[in-house]
Structure 1
Amino acid sequence: MQQFNVDDDIVALVWKLANPKPFENLTFTAALRRVFREQLGSAPKEGNFDGSEEWSRQLTAPKKAPTPNPSDWVAAVPELQNEKGLGTWKAICTHLKIETAGDSARRKLKNWVKANRPSWPPVPDID
């Protein structure tokens, strides 16, 4: 079996996420499996991981849907076409002085366009 050196901060994080009960005898491997199971809905079975199982694909799968390209939308708005630096939804909101207050800039812009610029093309939804 291969051995790995694991930094103390990673061990502490895995232990915290595994949340062992008081006096529970939990190995690092068991704690890591628990974290995988809680975070991904499944965990590798002991001695049965070859890197190709379904659960491992979840590690690289995006957690949320990708956002539509803001540059495509800006290109469709004549008033914004010639403006520089509008490559993100946040940059567009900043340019239009729309306060996002930590919310999704694309969603805030979508609502603002509906209310203030109904002649503009609608801000695209996440597919």
Structure 2
Amino acid sequence: MNVFLWIVAGVLAAFFLGAGFTKLSQSKAKLGENPQMGWTKDFSAGTLKLIGAAEVLGALGLILPGAFDIAPILVPLAASGLAIIMAGAIITHARRKEYPVIGINTIVLILALVVAIFRFGPNSF
């Protein structure tokens, strides 16, 4: 189970690093040009940067504390935070009637919850 949780955490970290760095490195206008990022028009540029920073920090929190055995409680806390971000994403896309994207968000939410639950519980470090 430990190997499975590391794999899931690695996949989540890669996903959130990519998503977070995209939000941090591109302007709001550039993000809005992407048809799948239409939701960015509903948020300020500062909020988008905050979401991006939270995603990057959450991705680092999934891997680094467990890998270096420094404050490993941060792993399930990071997974919980990322799950909250995904719940917000689901709500945002539902309000905008962007239903196809909700499926991806739901899968990512479930994976984050799996890491959080098992790292808080039976497979903690």
Structure 2 length normalisation: TM-score? 0.23
Quick check: which has more Rg, 1 or 2? 1
Q: Pick 1 or 2: higher relative contact order, CA cutoff 8 A, min separation 6.
A: 2
Structure with greater proportional helix content:
2
Structure 1 length normalisation: TM-score? 0.23
